[in-house]
Chain A
Amino acid sequence: MLEEFKKYLWVAKAISRLTLSTQKEVVIRFLTAKKKYLPEDNPKAQVEDILKCALCPNMCRFDCPVLQAAKSETYSPAGRARIAYLLEMGRVSSHDAVELMYACAACSACQQWCPFDFSVDDLLMGVRRDLVDRNLVPETLMDIKDQIVRTRTIYQNSRTSLGLEPRKADILYVAGCTVLNKERIIAQTAMKILEKAGITVTTLPEEWCCGAPLNLLGFEDDFKKFAAHNADSIKKSGCKKMICSCPECVYTFKEVYAKEGHPLQVEVMHTSEYFLELIEQGKIQFKELQRDLVYHDPCVLARKLHITEQPRKVLEAIPGVSVKEPPLTKEHTRCCGIGGLLAITNPELSVTLLRARDSELCKLADTVVTACPACKIAFKRTRNAESRDLSEIVLEGMN
């Protein structure tokens, strides 16, 4: 607060040098003018912040994967904020403008360069909530919402459990929709690692989606229902610690639930964090494994959860494993193209993003290791390199 005061002392001093009547006029305008430029109704979007973003010269643009793929001003961070502002002010209303509000990888690359600490995905999420309220959500996204609400998972396979009998345990493993429906090997390896480490672990009889897709798309009420259900199920499981393979699940359970009024009373960890803890306790031990790998930091893990060292330390603990670093790494990582539901909202952009990231990684090693099931699926699609989850490499090292 004091620092902020010092920072803007020059403004106060400059105003104090004006005549009294001018001072009064300037101060009144300074304090009240912005109301003129904001919507009169009470939108959920943070329009004042959106306006600040729209008035920025796009200082984060070089690191925005969506813009780098689209190569169009419309898709620049400030460009999307500008259309968002015009939408919120009712000055544009086209279908194109509405669709643009979903063209974001939610990777938060922008945030690290923003003098206001904004993330475009946060700004757009408010707009999406307003689009829900105004019944302007594109039909395909309404269908996705309906599917999640109906089947409790985003995937049509509709698998919501690992099929294991719940048991009393301090550790709860939550696989997440993507692992359950598309990458069960990640759950199988994770469970096997925990078993070999002597950890008693339980699972939920039925896993509901963490709700991240609902939240991202602006379906606030539905998200809250999922959060309430999951918070209750987790509590009933009696666990003390919850382990997830999916960074988006970790972020949602740990950060978003608390923000939205459903804080969990248990510790939530990503598998990479827990594996490292077990390695340090001597419960996971490795044999030699000759492998050259390149590690891809998932955006949510690296930038929203600030977990970059743990997965590296896990890999480096395996004798014989050599981990290469791509030029854009750790908190400077680049999205695989799946983030923010981009593969659904804009498949063409999603593929362009994927190719760009994939080409950087494949130059370095034949195996891309990541710590997110969605990233793993993305890199599998290109078939340029073997795509593996951290759990798979850990289990290989233990065997």
Chain B
Amino acid sequence: MSSEESAGPAHSPGYEIVYPQTSLSTEKKERILANLQKIVGKRNVSCREIDRLSYSRDYWPIALRWMLEGKVPALPDFVVWPETTDHISHIVRIASEEKIPVVPFGEGSGVLGGAIPVQGGIVLDMKKMSAVLTLNDDNLTITVQPGINGMNLERFLNQKGYTMGHIPQSLYCSTVGGWLGCRAAGQFSTKYGKIDDILISLEAVLPQGTIIRSKPVPKSSTCPRIDTLLLGAEGTLGVITEATFKIWPYPEKRALQSYAFSTLKDGLESVRTILRRGIFPAVVRLYDQAETERHFYSTKKARGKCILILVEEGDRELVDLEEAVSHTVCTDHGGFPTGEAPAAHWMETRFNVKEISEFTPRDVVFDTIEVSVMWDKSMELYQSVISAMKSIEGVIIASAHASHFYPQGVCFYFTFGGTSLTGSPTDFYETVWNAAMKACLNAGGSISHHHGIGILRSRWIREELGPSHDILKSIKKALDPENVMNPGKMGL
């Protein structure tokens, strides 16, 4: 279904390309196509317009809006489906020789444009490398290929009596490779950790074709880790081809709790205390007044308040203890128990992603911004980012919840929605983002907790990393001298 004998036309005239690139010469295109077909077979390479269009985007909200305006973010020249690590090694060698980009692609759920092929080239769709390789009960590990879909992996584990504990909202529509590339976090991360914590080891192809494998051990003290350089690299430093993760026995018991607090500060203080006591509920979510009203409108006792959702899971005795301690701490901090229902409602609706579909065609621009901050600056950051977003003309809503917690700090997940009253929707979008990012940096926060950088956040990455960004550039130059791996991202 995907093979094509010859390289097709650049594009039909029915749409405009936001990131146009110089077309490859016909001769070069034919040569690269022939080489790619030689490596992966004809059926695993496509130049068809419908395939190139399908890989022109990810889930960056503003780029989705462009579709309505008759625009396409960027078109790759080729879409390739490798089936083995060797395939990828050969493909990146050709890309280096021909100096054309390679953009790894999982399932395109990234929200910052990280998978958009802004300079064309080869999109490397990893879906044909989606096998479960080994499940080790003694070690409590699973080894998989990176193209496996999150829900299909979790379903497999659940059937065998385990969980990976990594349950992002994108579980249904993202891959393991995407999680690693963006340093993702799941909704149950306060207990199980983020993907960085869950990873044991990996195999990867570096930009010049070298294959590296790290050893699956719980910990080693053998020089700096090279493999983890690829975490959060969004495909700019290589392609992850295999990964071994921690897994857990499927929880014996799950407890649902919720509490309403008069202020966000009271709620944050409760969670901080719970974690200091050594209790790590799997899910901890604290909503400000605006989001409590939006998501928990049927919980009367939470009206005008901030609701806290807790989900504890695991061994029955431990869960009972965690539930009891959490209850005591929350009520001691003025939390009013609102029962299981709000937490059950969250469990039921946590994968309902409708806002972009519902509001984009109504010219309302929506997005979410997740940042992290230490406890002592948390309220300051929350207030300054909300104020900054609200100060932009056209913003209708600006709200947040805290979605991931640590003994040292918290991740805030902001939502804004509004409409451009003067300039273009894209200008409005960028203005709100700019205000939020500046407020975050001024308050001492990190500009991304788990969505990554992509195209959008590249403009603030220098300010975020400082001189470390130069080091990152040097590493990139050393590994990828021709800059073929996902160029145009992360300020690299």
Contacts and interface: CB of A to CB of B under 8 A. Distances in A.
Judge: A and B partners, yes or no.
yes
A74 B48 CA distance: 10
B232 to A, nearest CB: 21
A297 to B, nearest CB: 17
In the A-B complex, list the 9 residue pairs whose CB atoms are closest, starting with the nearest.
Answer: A91-B14, A33-B363, A71-B127, A52-B357, A62-B151, A73-B54, A74-B54, A34-B361, A55-B357
Interface stretch (B62-70, B244-252, B314-322): B62-70
Interface in B309-358: 351-354, 356-358
A94 B151 CA distance: 34
B354 A29 contact: no
A14 B109 contact: no
A38 to B, nearest CB: 8
A166 to B, nearest CB: 46
A83 B67 CA distance: 11
Nearest to A73: B54
Contact of B51 (A63, A74, A86, A116): A74
A57 interface: yes
A122 interface: no
Contacts of A91: 12, 14-15, 70
Interface string A73-94: 1111001001101100111111
A24 to B, nearest CB: 11
Given A10-B294, A91-B70, A346-B1, A82 B363 contact: no
A57 B68 contact: no
Given A57-B59, A75-B1, A113-B172, 18 more contacts: A10-B397, A11-B396, A26-B396, A30-B364, A33-B363, A34-B362, A48-B361, A57-B356, A61-B149, A62-B150, A63-B151, A68-B152, A73-B105, A73-B108, A82-B53, A93-B12, A113-B351, A327-B155
A30 B54 contact: no
Interface in B5-46: 12, 14-15, 46
A59 B159 CA distance: 21
A7 interface: yes
Contacts of B2: 72, 74
Contact of A116 (B150, B293, B357): B357
Given A62-B152, A72-B81, A346-B1, A9 B361 contact: no
Interface residues on A, range: 35 or more
B173 A61 contact: yes
Contacts of A57: 59, 108-109, 170, 173, 353, 356
Interface of B: 1-2, 12, 14-15, 46, 48-51, 53-55, 59, 64, 67-68, 70, 79, 81, 105, 107-109, 125, 127-128, 130, 147, 149-152, 155, 159, 170, 172-173, 290, 293-294, 297-298, 351-354, 356-358, 360-364, 393-394, 396-397, 417, 419, 421
Given A14-B396, A93-B12, A72 B361 contact: no
A31 B361 CA distance: 10
Contact of A22 (B151, B356, B421): B421
B67 A82 contact: yes
Interface string A90-115: 11111011001000000000000101
18 contacts: A10-B293, A14-B417, A22-B421, A26-B396, A33-B363, A34-B362, A52-B357, A55-B64, A55-B356, A56-B356, A60-B172, A61-B107, A62-B172, A72-B127, A73-B54, A73-B107, A82-B67, A89-B70
A116 B53 contact: no
Given A10-B293, A10-B297, A70-B1, A59 B361 contact: no
A6 B300 CA distance: 12
Contacts of B79: 72
A313 to B, nearest CB: 25
A1 to B, nearest CB: 15
Contacts of A70: 1
A309 interface: no
Contact of A25 (B64, B149, B421): B421
Contacts of B64: 55
A86 B14 contact: yes
A277 to B, nearest CB: 34
A73 B147 CA distance: 12
B108 to A, nearest CB: 6
Contact of A59 (B173, B294, B362): B173
Contacts of A48: 361
B125 A96 contact: no
Nearest to A36: B68
Contacts of A56: 353, 356-357
A96 B48 contact: yes
A13 B290 CA distance: 10
A22 B394 contact: yes
Interface string A5-49: 011011101110010001001100111011011000000000010
B353 A9 contact: no
A71 B149 CA distance: 11
B369 to A, nearest CB: 17
A51 interface: yes
A29 B393 CA distance: 16
B353 A59 contact: yes
B354 A116 contact: yes
Interface string A282-317: 000000000000000000000000000000000000
A55 B127 CA distance: 21
Contacts of B361: 33-34, 37, 48, 51-52, 55
A157 B338 CA distance: 66
A242 interface: no
A61 B128 CA distance: 15
Contacts of A75: 1
Contacts of B147: 71
A53 interface: yes
Contacts of B363: 29-30, 33
A54 interface: yes
A94 B49 contact: yes
A58 interface: yes
A55 B362 contact: no
B353 A72 contact: no
Given A25-B421, A62-B151, A92 B49 contact: yes
Contact of B14 (A90, A96, A327, A349): A90
B64 to A, nearest CB: 5
Name the residue among A29, A62, A82, A113 with the largest chain B CB count within 10 angstroms: A62
Contacts of A92: 12, 14, 49-50, 53
